Amino acid sequence: MAKLYFQYAAMNAGKSTTLLQASFNYRERGMETVLFTAAIDTRRAKGTIASRIGLAADAIVFDATTDLFAELEALISARRIDCVFVDEAQFLSEAQVLQLAHVVDRLDLPVMCFGLRTDFRGELFPGSARLLALADDIRELKTICHCGRKATMNLRTTSDGEAVSEGDQIEVGGNERYIALCRKHFYEKFGDNS
């Protein structure tokens, strides 16, 4: 029985690594996978999912106009697909998350989404919020704060290391400007005024 999965974590927790390993496991068993990644993510070559530890794979790029249900329906008419993987799932629109739910329910394909839950202000991304509402299976991948606690927040900093509390929700690249922190240390950086 196919399911919609959402695996989320703070930055640098190994989401892309986990996705690439899971896709490899399917392919190693003779199964076919399809990988998607967000066009807005320009940190690496277009149409590539890459991890910080050096794993990489080609992926289909989606943007706000992509109808993922139609795209996958066309793909399965041309070839066998056993599982769908989506990296940077926080950039999905609410409509695209519903399209992926329809892929699961109508096309009977498992869909595994990986992404951030919250932005640098501690607010849900729209795609993540919809995945939390619709996913059949939700899992948190864990990383740690400098204190050893579980990191759940993504702090954006200036080049001087000061916390940023305003600005666009999406700022691609600049991984050195983001720090995964536990909730306590995240709010300490804002002086508990957030």
Place of tokens 């600049």: 174
Residue 159 tokens, joined: 């080049």
Assigned domain for 24 exists:
yes
Cα separation of 61 and 72, whole Å?
Answer: 13
Residue 177 domain-assigned (yes or no): no
Residue 40 lies in a domain: yes
Q: Would 28 be classed as within a structural domain? A: yes
pLDDT 10s per residue in the chain (194 long)? 899 999 999 988 889 999 999 999 999 999 999 999 998 766 666 778 888 888 888 999 999 999 999 999 999 999 999 999 999 999 999 999 999 999 999 999 999 999 999 988 889 999 999 999 999 999 999 999 999 999 999 888 877 777 777 766 666 656 667 889 899 998 888 765 54
Q: Which two tokens stand for residue 180?
A: 């995964």
Domain span including residue 27: 4-142
Residue 174: inside a domain, yes or no? no
C-beta separation of 71 from 81 below 8 A: no
Report yes or no on 68 lying in a domain: yes
| 125 in any annotated domain | yes
Q: Which residues are marked as active site?
A: 88
Q: From the CB of residue 150, how many other CB atoms can be counted at a distance below 10 Å?
A: 15
Domain membership flag for residue 13 = yes
- In sequence order, what E strands does the chain have? 4-8, 33-38, 48-50, 56-58, 60-62, 83-86, 111-115, 137-140, 153-156, 178-181
The domain that contains 93 carries what CATH number?
A: 3.40.50.300
The domain tally of the chain equals 1
Helix axes 126-134, 94-107, angle to 10 degrees: 30
- Cα dihedral 151→128→61→177 (10° resolution): -30
